[in-house]
Structure 1
C-alpha cells in the first residue's frame, strides 16, 4: 500500500465527520459501517440508523466503499484495525469480502464457521468475531415469500460468500439436492464438497447451467450479476421455464432483470428484500445488544427507497 496515501483510520474519520450527526439517544453512539465495493445504493445504513432511533439509541452507520475510496483488497485488515481503534462496534461485510475476511478474525460463531463466510463482524474485549446473519435472513424471507415451494431440486448460481450462506439455508429448509453453478468451477466444486460432507452428498457442482436446470424446481441467484454495477442475468434467459420458482438475493435494484424475465414467464419470484431485512435485524442485535423487530426494519427499508 502506498504509504503517502491517507491511512484507513484517516479515511474512517473523514467518513464519520462528513456523516450527519446521529440523533441524541441514550448511552454512547453506536458506530458501525458496511465494507464492500459498489455499495453506494445500499439501504442498510438507513435501516440501522432508523431502528436505533426507534429504540432511543444514537447511531452513525457509514459506507466503507473500497471502489469509492480507491483501496485495494489488501487494505481490508487495516480497515478492521482502524474501526476497532476508533471505537466502532463492528461492520457489516458484503461483496467481495465475505470470505476474504476470514483470516483476519479472531473467532467465528458456529454458524459462520459451518458456512465458511461472514457478513457481520463485532469488536469486543480485544477480539474480532465473525457472524453470518445472511443465512437466517434468507430462510425467513423464503418461508414468508415462497411458502410450499417444491424443494426436490434447486439450482444455485454463485458459490461465493453469499452463496455459501444461502446453500446452508436451503439445506436447512429441506431441499433435496442443490446443484451449484459458478463461473469459477473450482469454487463451486469446493463448496459442494464441503457441504456434501455435512449433508450426505446432496450438494453438487454442475458443469453447465443447462444441465443443472433440467428438471429443477427452482433457482436462486447469489451472484452479483443483476446489481446496478453488474447488469444482466447469470445464465441464458431461454433456460427459464414457467414452472420454476426464482429467487434473487440482490435488493438494489429490488427488481433485477432476472426477476423481471421470470415474472413475465409466470414464475413465482422472491426478491432480495426479505433477506436484506432479516440479516439487518440479526446484525443490529449483535451490534447493539438490543432486540430488533422485523416489521419495523421492513418499514425502515421501504422508507429508505
Structure 2
C-alpha cells in the first residue's frame, strides 16, 4: 500500500493471526523483495490501461514464486518478468475466479461445480 499507515495496519492484523510467516512493511519495492521467498503485486500496475510493473526483474532474483493480483490482463509484465527469472507464477486470474465462485455462493446459495466452470471458461480460450 502506498499509505504506510494502512500497510502497517494490515501487517499488524496479519501478524495477529499467529502464523510463522514473517510479515514486514517497506516503502521501497526493491528493498521489500530482497530475500523474499515470494513476491506479490497488489498494486494496479500492470492492469489494462495502466501497464507497467512494480518491480524490476533483477529484484526478483532469489525468490521462488510470484503472484499478481491483477487479472486483466491475466499475463502481466510482472508475471512475464517473474517467469523469465525462473519463478513459479500465479496469475490474478485465480483471484478473479475465486471471487466469482465465492460471490455465486453468497448471492445464490447454490452449489457450483468449480471444475466444470473452469473447463467452460477455459474452453472459450482454446
TM-score bracket, normalised by the shorter chain, equals 0.7 to 0.9
Stretches of 4+ aligned residues off by more than 3 angstroms: none
Q: Is this contact kept in 1: 2:48–2:72, CA < 8 A? A: yes
User: What does residue 61 of structure 1 align with?
Assistant: none
- Give 2:29's aligned residue: 209
**Residue number in structure 2 paired with 1:285:** 105
- Equivalent of residue 14 in structure 2, options 195, 206, 220: 195
What stretches of structure 2 of length at least 5 have no aligned partner? none
How far has the Cα of 1:243 moved from its partner?
Answer: 4.3
Question: Is contact 1:243-1:267 (8 Å) kept?
Answer: yes
TM-score by length of 2: 0.82
The number of equivalent residue pairs is 124
Change (3 A) 1:297 1:234: same
- Matching residue within 66, 83, 88 for 1:246: 66
Q: Could you tell me whether the CA contact under 8 Å between 2:30 and 2:59 is conserved in 1?
A: yes
Separation in 2 of the partners of 1:277 and 1:200? Answer: 26
Looking at structure 2, the residues matched to 200 and 298 of structure 1 have their Cα atoms a distance apart, in angstroms, of: 31
2:75 aligned with 1:258, yes or no? Answer: no
Tell me if structure 1 keeps the 8 A contact 2:39–2:63: no
Question: What TM-score comes out, normalization by structure 1 length?
Answer: 0.37
Q: 2:115 aligns with which of 277, 295, 300?
A: 295
| 1:299 Cα offset (Å) | 2.7
The answer to whether the 8 Å contact 2:45/2:51 transfers is yes
Greater per-residue strand proportion = 1
Structure 1: state its 5+ residue gaps.
1-181
Residue number in structure 2 paired with 1:13 = none
Residue 186 (1) aligns with residue 5 (2): yes
SS in 2 for 1:189: helix
Q: Cα RMSD (Å) of the superposition?
A: 2.2
Give the alignment of 1:55-66 within 5 angstroms: none
Sort the Cα spacing of 1:294 and 1:261 in 2 relative to 1 into closer, same or farther, 3 A. Answer: same
Counterpart in the other structure of 1:235: 55
CA contact (8 A) 2:38 2:65 kept: yes
